[in-house]
Structure 1
Amino acid sequence: MSIAYWCILVTALLPYLWVFIAKRSGERYNNRNPRGWVAKQEGNYKVQRANAAHLNGFEAFPAFVAGVLMAQLAGVPTDTITPLALGFVAARILHGVFYLADKHSLRSFVWLLGMLCAVALIVLAALRVA
């Protein structure tokens, strides 16, 4: 089970990688007003995309954590949980990479794959308990 827990840690930290990239990609980052700084980076699409990947990482995180913990508590086999957790992490990394590269179709596809991994964990837990 520890691999899935490490996956939770990676996905918890991943949004900070994307925001680090955003802050390094724009003009003189201002930590006194970070949201105002991002708003002023209108023409800098790398900053905007990295910031969006950052926010989306936080949006996807709760469903994944719930899925891993629910699956574990429901007794779903580790051999089932681990590949879904690793699949989610891979999808989230690719999601950020495709966001930065402005590959919208690929970004949407890997977002869907990641969300399917999280949903599968939740459904497997629900079926196990029922």
Structure 2
Amino acid sequence: MAVILWALFAVALLPYLARLPVARAMNQLGGYDNHLPRAQQARLEGMGARANAAHYNSFEALQLFLAAVLGCVVSGNYDLTMQVLAWLYVGCRVAFILLYLLDYALLRSIVWVVGVGAVFSMIVRAALSV
């Protein structure tokens, strides 16, 4: 189970790591506006806007992975396949963020589909284990 929990830690950390380029882009846009950061983020363009989208998408993606990990816990299924699927998802999320920053939209979408497939596979395998 520890392997899957470390994967959960990695996925939970990604939104915060994805935030770093957003803060940098905000600083380049006249300094970080801590009073109205979302208004400033709405004015970002290019890589800054893509970094902001990747940041928010990482929080959205975390919820689905939490459901899969909960399924593993409830079913007691932490086998090697589940561990591989969990870390495949982590790899897809890292690649997704990098591809978002680099503006490779099609490849990013393909990686997203693979990641979602991995996490749904975890959920289905957990449901079949109960």
Give me the TM-score of the superposition, normalised by structure 1.
0.92
Moved over 6 A (4+): none
Q: Write out aligned runs for 1:33-72 (5 A).
A: 33-41=36-44, 44-72=45-73
Deviation at 1:77, TM superposition (A): 4.0
Look up the match of 1:103: 104
Mapping of 1:69-108 within 5 angstroms? 69-108=70-109
Structure 1 segments unaligned to the other structure (5+ residues):
none
Root-mean-square deviation (Å): 1.2
Instruction: Determine what percentage of the aligned residue pairs are the same residue.
Output: 39
Q: Distance in 2 between matches of 1:58 and 1:91?
A: 14
Give how far 1:25 is off: 2.1
> Do residues 2 (structure 1) and 2 (structure 2) align?
yes
How many pairs are equivalent? 127
Q: Could you tell me how far 1:125 is from its partner in structure 2?
A: 1.1
8 Å Cα contact 2:4-2:78 kept in structure 1? no
Shift of 1:65: 1.3
